[in-house]
Amino acid sequence: MEDANTLLADIRQRIERFQAETAGHGDLQAKHGPSVDDSRLNVETHEIGARVRAIRGKRSQADFARMIGCSQPTVGRIESGASMPDAGVVLAICEVGDVSTDYLRLPHNFQVH
């Protein structure tokens, strides 16, 4: 249990740093102007849900929820595509699944030009 608490404390610190670093950074349109087509950056909620399901693997939703610091119903809503995970949950999922945030947020066919 101590390992889980240590992991959660580390995730919370990363969330706080992430929120501090991104505070005041508007969306892509405001940051880069109207020439940026940010529609290609959007991933459908059901696609994110499928990726979260894959990361969860054989673990129960309840066990996975405890690992990422949210409730089982929240995991269920994310996996079904009914809701999007907030920034803190995204970071926790990525930490537990050892994947980048881009894996969850960007379409698989996205390429930087």
**What does the pLDDT look like over 43-59, one tens digit per residue?**
577 888 999 999 999 99
Residue 30, CA distances (Å) to 25, 33, 42, 112 in order = 9, 6, 16, 19
Q: How far apart are CA 112 and CA 42, in angstroms?
A: 14
Q: Which CATH architecture has domain 2-21+48-105?
A: Orthogonal Bundle (1.10)
The domain spans of the chain are: 2-21+48-105
- 40, amino acid identity: R
Per-residue pLDDT tens digits for 71-101: 999 999 999 888 888 889 999 999 999 998 8
